[in-house]
Every structure is written in C-alpha cells, then in structure tokens.
Amino acid sequence: MALVGKKFPNISVNAMNDMGDTFKINVLEEAKNNNKKVVLFWYPKDFTFVCPTELHAFQAALGEFEKRNTMVIGASCDTPEVHFAWLSTAKDNGGIEGVTYPILADSNRNLSNMLGILDITNEVFDEETGTVQVEGDNVTYRATYIIDEEGTVQHESINNMPLGRNVNEYLRLVDALTHVQEKGEVCPANWEDGKEAMQPNAKGTAKYLASQLN
C-alpha cells in the first residue's frame, strides 16, 4: 500500500549512533517536533556489499541535506549491537566508520512490516509444527522515504537488493518539495534547483513547454 500523501507510521524504533548509544527514534515525531524534512533510507544488511557504499554516500552528502533543513536516518533489521560493530569497522575494511547520522535497528521488524518492504516472497503454514515459515531473507529492500515537516510522506521508492541509489536524486527531490512548498509552483520533468518551474494549470503547462522549444 502506497504511503505517499499519508502520515508516516507513529512508532518508536531502537536506533544506534556512532557513539555507541542505543535510543528510541520516532520518525514522525522527529519531523514534526524539529520542523524538518526527513530522508529515511532502508538497506538490507550490515556487513554486506552495496550497503556500505550507500551509507557513505549519504554521509558525504549530509551537509547538503542539513543545508536543506533535512535529517538523514538509515535503517535495517540488524540489532543495535551489530550496527555499532559496523560503525566501529574501518571504511577500508568494508565498514561504515565515520557515519554520524542515526541508524534504526528494526530487529523486531515492526516498522518494516508496517511499511511492507520486507523480502518475503511467500509464507507457508506448516501444519506439523503449527508455525508460519517464510521464503525470502526477511530483510528490507532498498526503500527510501521523504517525509515533510508535518510528518506526511511525499516520496517513497523501493530498489531491489543489487540496485544502489543515487543520493543526488534525493537532494533534487528535497529541492523540488521545498520549491513547491515555498513558491506554489509544480516541478516538471528533470527539474533542478534554479531552473524554471510551472504554474499548476493549463496555461502554465503551455508556457513551460513553449519555453523548451527555444
């Protein structure tokens, strides 16, 4: 079920930071209480392959997100202790040492299950044991959410495991959302900050398309 246009789930989840502190984060409250946008990105597993490249890429862009009044939060289904072990592992050894934003540890899968982003291809009830057995790794896909200052989801996307994200695209989307909020215009295809946007009506569309003919 798509969450765009709806409030992000109101649930607190364990998180870990680079200091080794375990604490609770409620993403909805973080957005509303701090009057900030939030980029929440999920990745499958700590100590894997594509994942550290993404965490370092978001870290490298952290200052750009902060300029845009936007928080970055990572997330997976690993435990806080595993997060800290990875945070304590050097970059040249496959670790994420140097990452400073919080990382959710949704080890009970309460939030990821609510979001519907777990890699479960099938569920089978085993009559002999009376248990439900799942097919799939039961970890998250590469899901990304942009949440506005009111806690409303403005963007969601999901990549399969092998497909790493382009962090610059999320900066562009935050810029577009901010432009819409501040100017009341809408952002056409391939829009970037500083480029012409459109009035949300037929005349605005015609004017914009005409400008692209030159």
Catalytic residue numbers, as ranges: 51
Dihedral sign of CA atoms 190, 192, 196, 200 in order: positive
Three-state DSSP class for residue 36: coil
Closest CA to 43 of 4, 12, 82, 70: 82
The position carrying tokens 């609770």 is 24
Q: Contact at 8 Å (CB) between 39 and 70?
A: yes
Dihedral sign of CA atoms 199, 153, 191, 117 in order: negative
What's the DSSP call for residue 71?
E
Q: Contact at 8 Å (CB) between 57 and 168?
A: no
Closest CA to 40 of 181, 137, 170, 150: 170
